[in-house]
Amino acid sequence: MYKKTREVRVGSVCIGGDSRVSIQSMTSTKTTDIEKTVNQIKQLYTAGADLVRVAVPSPAALDAFSAIRKQISKPLIADIHFDYKLALGALRQGADKVRINPGNIKDWSKVKLIIDEAQKSQAAIRIGVNSGSLESGLKRKYGGPTIEALVESAINHNNMFLDYGFDNFVVSIKSSRVKTTIAANRLFAQASDTPLHLGVTEAGTPNLGEVKAAIGIGSLLNDGIGDTFRVTLTADPVVEVALALKICKALGLRKEGLEIISCPTCGRTHSDLISIVNEVEQKTKHIKTPLTVAIMGCVVNGPGEAEEADLGLALGKGRAALFRNGKVIRTIEEEDYVQILLQEIANMAAKNN
């Protein structure tokens, strides 16, 4: 059961409230390379991102952000650290949201100027609390970026923003440690109705980072915590979006395209199930209609899983039972498994489209 948070608007996208969990990513190009950055933003939106963020680390990047903003019709977020003037400039250039770490800016009077500008331009702010850039006072108090230190930082800034009369903001509490990230976000969610932006920061390469992201983000989403998130990987950001979509799909938060259920294979399997599943998955990537397809390798769990799916193939020795909506519709020979299943998938997708 999702905890309902207050609604925050980022351009045409709503975070929190009754809105679906949104997926974010960030460009990896140099912002000053306007053409490459614009192209990557478009790639990320095409891949399935709902929100895209761009680094603005310098006045030159701010000038480029202005040019980029004119070429992008969808929401655009500026990522700012240290220099409050860059945040003000990005908001004036049309940023729908700025990501700031108040602990890095330090001076509350400067943070208030950012809030005032966001209020004026009807933009949002993300308060980013990160274990790698926690305020020094809290690190001394707790002996490091502990769970309690991260939550105290987030609650302090959350309350300061609210007391100042601004509520169009989200909070993120991130650590490269999965358990710390989960525990800190759970504690904050108990204390506030502010929408949470989830993420396991500096998760690493896809080799391990995908696991850390899936556990950290997935655990919180499964708890009903989190309104938007970014998977962070040392990889092409399009890969981040692809994994984010898989996390949503696994939790039933997005119903788009095929969900293929298949067994791990064992000594009871008579066919090359791995090749069959891989071929079906590869040849159905273009299908957007939500369908569940079971491809099972033997008679132990095969019929049961096939009955529960929209389409199912329960393989036997040289033959398979083809299920549609829980009922066997025919028996097919091994050489026809892929061809007939693909045709059934296409027919059902067209019918349900």
**Average pLDDT score over the chain:** 91
The answer to whether 58 touches 90, Cβ cutoff 8 Å, is no
Taking residues 267-283, report their average pLDDT: 87
Over residues 312-333, the pLDDT tens digits come to: 888 888 888 899 998 999 999 9
* pLDDT of the residue at 82: 86
Q: Where do the CATH 3.30.413.10 domains begin and end in the chain?
A: 258-352
Q: Please state, as a whole number, how many other Cβ atoms lie within 10 Å of the Cβ of residue 34.
A: 18
Q: Residue 133 — pLDDT band, cuts 50, 70, 90? A: confident
Tokens standing for residue 133: 């850039």
Q: What is the CATH number of domain 258-352?
A: 3.30.413.10
The most distant pair of C-alpha atoms in the chain lies apart, rounded to whole Å, by 74
CATH of 8-250, one of 3.20.20.20, 3.60.10.10, 3.20.20.370, 3.40.50.300: 3.20.20.20
pLDDT above 90: residue 15: yes
- Give the rounded percent of residues in the chain with a pLDDT score beyond 90: 64
Q: Where do the CATH 3.20.20.20 domains begin and end in the chain?
A: 8-250
Q: Is the dihedral of CA 178, 184, 186, 192 positive or negative?
A: negative
CB neighbours of 139 closer than 8 A, spacing ≥ 6?
145, 149
- The DSSP result for 87-119, as a single string, is HHHHHHTT-SEEEE-HHHH--HHHHHHHHHHHH
pLDDT above 90: residue 308: no
pTM given for the model: 0.87
CA atoms of 127 and 108, how far apart (whole Å): 13
Q: Residue 1 — pLDDT band, cuts 50, 70, 90? A: low
In terms of pLDDT, which residue wins out, 295 or 95? 95
* pLDDT of the residue at 203: 63
Taking residues 208-223, report their average pLDDT: 94
pLDDT above 80: residue 292: yes
* pLDDT of the residue at 306: 78
Cα separations in angstroms, 129 against 16, 134, 144, 199, 272: 19, 7, 14, 11, 49
In terms of pLDDT, which residue wins out, 344 or 269? 344
